[in-house]
Amino acid sequence: MTKIVFLDKGTFPTTLEAKKPSFPHEWQEFEGTPKDQIIPRLQGADIAITNKVKLDDETLSSLPDLKMIAIAATGFDHVDIHSAHAKDITVANVKGYAVNSVPEHAMMMIMALSRSLLGYQSDIEKGEWQKANQFCFFNHPIEDLHDKTLGIIGRGVLGAGLARLASGFGMGIMYAGRRGDKDPHKPYIEFDEFLEQSDIISIHCPLNDHTRDLITKNEFSKMSRNPILINASRGGIVNEADAVDAVNQRKIRALGVDCLSLEPPRNGNPLLSIAHYPNVIITPHIAWASTDAVQSLWDSLINNIEEWQKGDLKTAL
């Protein structure tokens, strides 16, 4: 009987309608799995399900029975794909499940930061408005989105989804070319020019060798329009210490982040030092996690496993 082990089922909400594969199988699930328990828990398993638990070459070499890795996410930087291929282990991720959830979350942060929503909410809680001499007061900047230029890093389904929403507000859209490419093909524009011309920058690309530390103090220095920066993609794409400096030195006027380099940040993170700022929003990696998106993710995950069981699925990344 096929043995399936889910290493970090706790990454899904308990309210999920979590159907299991329709074929006969043995199912084991764990809230989470520390590094020293990965190999023991996967001994004898045919299928490993992981959302964020790392499966490197050393781990895979110790699991001769493993035949499939079902990734409960789109990102796969935590799985050694080359090692899996060499060992004839099928790897499948889930694409397209958060096509509305992530763009809407990014758009929410853009709107909130443009109009200083959190700052004004905090002022109400502190009683500042109640002490004002007029019917309103202007304690924070308020910007319209109409005619602003939104620069998007990543032109996949999520970046395109955000562009669709932003277009409804009358925003202009630009896509960043690869850093170092001086003559990108349309609709991409040269990366430094992109940084200079964007009023708002939103990141929707994977974390890999090309995108790690994509935004550092060097890139912040080129953001001449003092933009809002949004990262609802992966921690590590934006250098976090440099982002703190950029906020404090007003190189950017606001920052919205849904992902950190280490999650959760139990040992601290530079960004937490500015989390209380009225022009900073940090959310706990939930851009993907609308009820609709989570259900779609689970259904697709199980479908991948069933397709593999039938022999209809090879590595799908």
Task: Note down pLDDT in tens along the chain; length 317 residues.
Answer: 999 999 999 999 988 989 999 999 999 999 999 999 999 999 999 999 999 999 999 999 999 999 999 999 988 889 999 999 999 999 999 988 999 999 999 999 999 999 999 999 999 999 999 999 999 989 999 999 999 999 999 999 999 999 999 999 999 999 999 998 998 998 999 999 999 999 999 999 989 899 999 999 999 999 999 999 999 999 999 999 999 999 999 999 999 999 999 999 999 999 999 999 999 999 999 999 999 999 999 999 999 999 999 988 766 56
267 in a structural domain: yes
User: What pLDDT does 75 receive?
Assistant: 86
Rounded to the nearest 5 degrees, what angle is found at the Cα of 155, between the Cα atoms of 228 and 217? 40
Range of the domain at 262: 101-282
**Helices 291-309 and 101-114: crossing angle, nearest 10°?**
150
C-beta separation of 35 from 54 below 8 A? yes
317 in a structural domain: no
Residues 259 and 300 in one domain: no
Q: What is the pTM of this model?
A: 0.90
315 in a structural domain: no
Residues 64 and 155 in one domain: no
Residues 142 and 277 in one domain: yes
56 in a structural domain: yes
Residues 168 and 297 in one domain: no
User: What pLDDT does 210 receive?
Assistant: 92
User: What pLDDT does 96 receive?
Assistant: 87
Residues 240 and 115 in one domain: yes
- CATH code (residue 79): 3.40.50.720
Residues 158 and 297 in one domain: no
C-beta separation of 9 from 297 below 8 A? no
Residues 150 and 55 in one domain: no
Residues 32 and 150 in one domain: no
Query: Token pair 């001499």 is at which residue?
Result: 133
Which residues are annotated as catalytic? 234, 263, 285
62 in a structural domain: yes
Residues 67 and 182 in one domain: no
Q: Please, which residues bridge with residue 188 across strands? A: 175
279: nearest Cα among 141, 147, 136: 141
The conformational region for residue 132 under phi > 0 = left, psi -120 to 50 = alpha, else beta, is beta
- Based on the structure, what is the number of domains in the chain? 2
Residues 130 and 255 in one domain: yes
316 in a structural domain: no
Residues 143 and 191 in one domain: yes
Q: Give the HSE-up count for residue 117: Cα atoms under 13 Å, Cβ half-sphere.
A: 10
Residues 104-120: tens digit of each pLDDT: 999 999 999 999 999 99
